[in-house]
Amino acid sequence: MTTSNVQAVTNVADSEQEGIFYQEQHNESALFEYAFNNQLPVLIKGPTGCGKTRFIEHMANKLNKPLYTVACHDDLTASDLVGRHLIGSDGTYWQDGPLTRAVREGGICYLDEVVEARKDTTVVLHPLADNRRILPIDRTGEMLEAHPDFMLVVSYNPGYQNLLKGMKPSTRQRFVAMRFDYPEAEIEQEILIKETGVEPRLAGRLIELAHALRRLEDNDLDEVASTRLLIYAAKMLKVGMKPLEVCRCCLAEPLTDDPQTIEALMEVARIYFDD
């Protein structure tokens, strides 16, 4: 991965950014703060689009800490996280990766879908995720002690787990774990209204449709209608797009490529929306 690509998947949250809306479901904010105050790493498990990343952004804003977000994938290397030597006009120089920057500065490093990263990459997390809180940098000979405000957060979707892409027990048991799911109907409707300004009547219908589609997961769909997709749909409805067109482009098409399944989903949508 090139340096520019590393920067593309790394984001530093502005600690003074406002307007990060997150709807509390249980006591997840308090649990996260307890973990932060006690220098404990956090693992967040939950399905696609249920608000894991939004929650981390919200907590970084609330705690007034910089946030480094890394989208994990098969080609992610340890160097992408830790750093590498680069060649510049004045010769060779070292550039910290997002994990190292968070360790030095005292920020939150968030590895999204961590099980997608290569196993040799996640090994570098072990000394940071236990009582040692250190990051060895072999290429510079440094042994960094984590800043008191450093926090390691990882997430993944247990629904994607298999024998090849599961988190090793030796890694998983180093974290405080939190399980997320799609919000209850009333909370999810409130999220849609606050995020998009859509009419409560339309938001309610979207939620009813989503729950109907989610009941199809075991029979027809690999994934279900996420809260993220519902927000997209609500935004489209808010600007006047026809409801069934919204259901097709924001719900049916993103959930499957099979034409017959798409039409079956649209039949369900017609129960709740009639143009």
Q: Could you report the per-residue pLDDT of 198-243, keeping only the tens digit for each?
A: 999 999 999 999 999 988 755 567 788 999 999 999 999 999 999 9
pLDDT at 171: 83
Which pTM was predicted?
0.84
Q: Tell me how far apart the 2 most distant CA atoms of the chain are, in Å.
A: 67
Local structure of residue 251 (DSSP, 8 states): I
Measured between alpha carbons, how far is 65 from 150 in angstroms, rounded to an integer?
9
Q: How far lies 234's CA from each of 93, 142, 200, 251, in Å?
A: 48, 50, 10, 11
Closest by alpha carbon to 114, among 31, 43, 198? 43
CATH class, domain 3-179, is alpha beta
pLDDT at 24: 86
Which regions of the chain are under pLDDT 70? Answer: 1-19, 160-166, 217-220, 275
Q: DSSP of 136-194, one letter per residue? A: EETTTTEEEEPPTT-EEEEEE-GGG--SSSS--HHHHTTSEEEE--PPPHHHHHHHHHH
Q: Please calculate the CA angle 103-105-107 and round it to the nearest 5 degrees.
A: 70
pLDDT per position as a tens digit, 156-177: 988 765 444 667 788 888 999 9
pLDDT at 26: 84
pLDDT at 91: 85
Measured between alpha carbons, how far is 174 from 32 in angstroms, rounded to an integer?
15
Q: What is the DSSP pairing of strand 108-112 with strand 151-156?
A: parallel
pLDDT at 190: 93
Sorted by where each begins, the domain ranges of the chain are: 3-179, 185-272
Report phi then psi at 108, rounded to 5: -100, 125
